[in-house]
Amino acid sequence: MFRSKVLFYSSFNLSLLNKQPFIIINRKYSKHTHPPPSEIVKLSYTQYDPPEFNETNENPYLIILHGLFGSKQNWKSLAKTFAQRLNTRVFTLDLRNHGESPHSPVHNYEVMSDDVAAFIKEHKLYKTAIMGHSMGGRVGIAMALRQVPHIEKLVVVDSAPVNSRMSSEFFTYIDVMKKIEQAGIVKQSKADEIMKDYISDISIRQFLLTNLKKDPETGLYKFRIPLDILSDSMGELGRFPFDSAHHTFHKKTLFVAGTRSNYLPPKVYPTIRTFFTNAVIAELDTGHWVHAEKPLEFAAIVTDFIVKN
Q: Report how far Cα 221 is from the mean position of its chain's Cα atoms.
A: 25
Torsions phi, psi for 51 (to 5 deg): -55, -40
Alpha carbons 42 and 58: distance in angstroms, whole number:
28
Distances (CA, A) of 287 to 88, 256, 260, 268: 29, 11, 5, 17
Edge-first strand listing for the sheet containing 253-258: 6-8, 279-284, 253-258, 151-157, 128-133, 61-65, 90-93, 45-49, 23-27
Catalytic residue among 71, 101, 113, 134: 134
134 is catalytic: yes
Torsions phi, psi for 281 (to 5 deg): -125, 130
Spatial contact of 63 and 130, defined as CB atoms under 8 Å apart: yes
Element (H, E) at 221: strand 221-223
Catalytic residue among 103, 107, 133, 288: 288
Helix, strand or coil, per DSSP, at residue 172: helix
- Which residues, at least 6 apart from 147, have a Cβ–Cβ distance to it below 8 Å? 249
Kindly write down the DSSP assignment for every residue of 32-99, as one continuous string. Answer: -----TTSPP---EEEEE-TT--TT-SSPEEEEE--TT--GGGGHHHHHHHHHHHTS-EEEEPPTTST
Alpha carbons 100 and 111: distance in angstroms, whole number:
17
Alpha carbons 223 and 207: distance in angstroms, whole number:
12
- Residues with a known catalytic role: 134, 288
